[in-house]
Structure 1
Amino acid sequence: MFRRPFKGGAIFLVLAALLILGACGTKTAPGEGTGPAGGESKTDSAKPETLTVGASQEPHAQILNDVVKPKLKDEGIDLKVVVFQDYVQPNVKLAEKELDANYFQHIPFLEKTNQEKGYDLIPVCGVHIEPLGAYVAKGKNYKSAADLPDGATIAITNDPTNQGRMLLLLEREGLIKLAEGKGASATTTDIVENPKHLKFLPMDAPLLPRALEDPKVDLALINTNFALQAGLNPTKDAIFMEDKTSPYVNVVAVRPESKEDPRIQKLCDVLLSDDVKQYIEEKYQGAVVPAQVRY
């Protein structure tokens, strides 16, 4: 009698062939994959470290994003820039460890904040100076300090540190005289001579550019970062400015335990580089002046 061939043997051969092919397909080349031979993948081991820095929009965040961020990326650091519109929150967030560093203030302001808030924040490097400028209000046509009329109203900051700085600038221009020895700590109560009977309108620093629209205001003294944000050109629009020897160097500030952090040191390395110096000089044309120092 004719018998049909047993199919079980054929099925066995097919299954064996598939197992052999599967083993070949999943074979790992030496030095690849995970485990003792290959270790972690290159992508995982090269994951960048994050560095979070708080900054004012102009020129601080601009410098960080345009020049510093790509250079730190080459160093394996992912720079996150958090922009603030005021002078209070960057130090609050740094003290509360929500930031690794901030870059927006000068040392007198930092010292005043530490004293008032009980912080112990420190500067690690100084990057630039922003000479303070005096801007004429809309509809007025003053060309110099001497043109200001009797009883003119000047908008100034209500921040004590920068208010003293503004009053020193007015004193330099011969508009007022301050009590002996007051210097940068001066307030409007320390004015001992005011021949033009000037009036002062203190306000939050970010609001000073808006004061130029107020018909009651004749002049506003504005920090350069807020002037730049408002579209003002300090070297062309200000009728007088601090000179380039201003001691108010803008610094990178950190908590004391972060001073030797390699990420912070690399941040300062880039900020103090010739590339950043050249960027500042070319972009801001004297409105911002490089002043590179490490503390």
Structure 2
Amino acid sequence: MLRKKLALAATSVAALVALTACGGGSTEPAAEASLDPANPVVVKVGASPVPHAQILEFIDENLAQDAGIDLEITEIEDYQTPNIALADGTLDANYFQTAAYLADQVAQKGYEFEHGAGVHIEPLTAFSKKFSTPEEVTEGAKVVLNNDPVNQLRGLRVLENGGLLANLTDEDTVLSIEGDAEKNPLGLVFSEVNSEQVPQYYTEDDSVGIAVVNGNYIVQAGLDPEEILVQESAENNPNANFLTWRAGEKTEAIGALEELLHSDEVHQFILDTWNDGSVIPATN
């Protein structure tokens, strides 16, 4: 089966389009057709490397051909490129985001997308090399976290659940709470960076006291579970990741992929591969 994996940065949308053209592939969505395992339909999917692309690779290697599809998997490191590439037709679908993040992107950029049911959850986690428990965190500790509004609030909620922040609202950001003694009683000092950069700051900057890391980057960076300070609860968690496609363009092939993402085989693959709880199947 045909598989393609490319690593992209936020500034590489043009490069993605060029690479697709050079590979002879069309930027048109997968054609609607009766799916035939002997002549599988190619579906171009952009995904975060871990765990999304790994889940897609499992499907491609074990389930896709019998379903009459063949996945071209494009690994994308950042959270902006997948939706840009989906909107411009470079991709047929992407797999990396949550409902809250997608809603924010649609509101900001006017994307016309639809999505499937949640596939998996990656609990957001606060790590620390300096503090073993939330009670040990000292005044003025430096916190590095995501700079996109949706995941930033989610990260602040993790800190609130650990008792480090209080009385947050859904409108709060690091700017609104940094000088607020009621909400930020320890006077934590926040540093906002791109989500994929958080693990690098955590491992390389000795001034960082706490890092709030998105689940896929935890796995990718191989962070030490012994350094977990507080973790988002998986129970009733609304932040499941799902497959997304352009509105009105859910082809038969995309529908087949959506079904495979919710198969018993994929459910078991997630449980077996991430048995530390860093990635868990969603319940819908």
**Under TM normalisation by the shorter chain, which class is it?**
0.7 to 0.9
Match of 2:141 in 1: 152
Match of 1:95 in 2: 87
CA RMSD of aligned residues (A): 1.8
Match of 1:79 in 2: 71
Contact 1:69 1:78 (8 Å CA) reproduced: no
What SS class does the counterpart of residue 205 from structure 2 fall into?
coil
Q: How far apart, in 2, do the equivalents of 1:158 and 1:206 lie?
A: 10
Deviation of 1:178 (Å): 4.0
Pairing partner for 1:257 from 230, 248, 266:
248
Match of 2:41 in 1: 49
Q: Displaced runs of 4+ in structure 1, greater than 6 A? A: none
Larger radius of gyration: 1
Match of 2:152 in 1: 163
Deviation of 1:249 (Å): 0.8
Contact 2:118 2:282 (8 Å CA) reproduced: yes
Match of 2:273 in 1: 283
- 2:105 is aligned with what amino acid? T
Contact 1:178 1:190 (8 Å CA) reproduced: no
Q: Structure 1 length as normaliser, TM-score?
A: 0.78
Contact 1:272 1:292 (8 Å CA) reproduced: no
| Residues 99-118 of structure 1: per-residue CA shift (max 9 Å, x gap) | 11100010100010011111
Match of 1:231 in 2: 222
Contact 1:125 1:292 (8 Å CA) reproduced: no
Match of 1:31 in 2: none
Pairing partner for 1:205 from 190, 195, 206:
195
Pairing partner for 2:263 from 264, 273, 281:
273
Match of 2:238 in 1: 247
Q: How far apart, in 2, do the equivalents of 1:58 and 1:202 lie?
A: 22
| Residues 137-184 of structure 1: per-residue CA shift (max 9 Å, x gap) | 4xx3x21111111110010111111000011111111111244xx22x
Q: Percent identity?
A: 38
5+ long unaligned stretches in structure 2? 1-35
From the superposition, tell whether residues 134 and 87 of structure 1 become closer, same or farther in structure 2 (CA, over 3 Å).
Answer: same
5+ long unaligned stretches in structure 1? 1-43
Q: How far apart, in 1, do the equivalents of 2:83 and 2:172 lie?
A: 23
Match of 2:3 in 1: none
What SS class does the counterpart of residue 51 from structure 1 fall into?
strand
Give the structure with the higher percent strand: 1
Contact 2:68 2:253 (8 Å CA) reproduced: no
What SS class does the counterpart of residue 248 from structure 2 fall into?
helix
Q: How far apart, in 1, do the equivalents of 2:172 and 2:151 lie?
A: 9
Pairing partner for 1:176 from 165, 186, 198:
165
Match of 2:7 in 1: none
From the superposition, tell whether residues 93 and 290 of structure 1 become closer, same or farther in structure 2 (CA, over 3 Å).
Answer: same
What SS class does the counterpart of residue 125 from structure 1 fall into?
coil
Deviation of 1:189 (Å): 3.0
Contact 2:159 2:230 (8 Å CA) reproduced: no
Q: How far apart, in 1, do the equivalents of 2:195 and 2:37 lie?
A: 45
Match of 1:32 in 2: none
Match of 2:102 in 1: 110
Q: How far apart, in 2, do the equivalents of 1:45 and 1:280 lie?
A: 25
Deviation of 1:190 (Å): 3.3
Is 1:62 aligned to residue 54 of structure 2?
Answer: yes
From the superposition, tell whether residues 264 and 45 of structure 1 become closer, same or farther in structure 2 (CA, over 3 Å).
Answer: closer
Is 1:218 aligned to residue 196 of structure 2?
Answer: no
What SS class does the counterpart of residue 118 from structure 2 fall into?
strand
